[in-house]
Amino acid sequence: MDYNDHPVRPYVLTSGRAHPSRNTIRPETLLVVDPDAPRPIAPTSQQKALLEMCGGMLSLAEAAAHLRLPVSLVVVIASDLVDSGHLQIRSAPRHTPPPAELLEKVLDGLRKL
């Protein structure tokens, strides 16, 4: 893959901010557009692209890859859109570990192989 440098420095896209207003947004966080929220009046091109991508549910890491921007930058952009009510975050479903007894049976079966 060829390296293509972005002509605009990342800190310019976030007005110099390096940290999001929310600490709950992580790379695995799922993003979805709030269907009831009106579109922002004057979105940046990155905000517009992120909102278009998140018509269906999309993880922040996937969005960053599609935008070809660092995840840390997309976290700040997404955080702004969540704060303005244009974007919603969904947590990935938590995985419940199987019972210890089942894991012991699997381990015993593997040892017998």
Residue 45 covered by a domain:
yes
Sheet holding 30-33, edge to edge: 58-59, 30-33, 87-90
Q: How many domains does the chain divide into?
A: 1
Rounded mean pLDDT, 87-113: 84
Percent of the chain scoring above 70 in pLDDT: 75
Rounded mean pLDDT, 23-41: 82
Q: Per-residue pLDDT for 11 more than 70?
A: no
Strand partners, 33: 87
Residue 79 covered by a domain:
yes
**Closest Cα to residue 74, out of 3, 36, 17?**
17
Rounded mean pLDDT, 25-50: 83
pLDDT digit string (tens) for 43-69? Answer: 787 888 888 888 888 899 999 999 888
How far apart are the C-alpha atoms of 87 and 78, rounded to whole Å? 7
**Closest Cα to residue 51, out of 31, 68, 73, 66?**
31
Residue 1 covered by a domain:
no
Q: What is the pLDDT of residue 9?
A: 58
Q: Any idea what the CATH number is for the domain that residue 43 is in?
A: 1.10.10
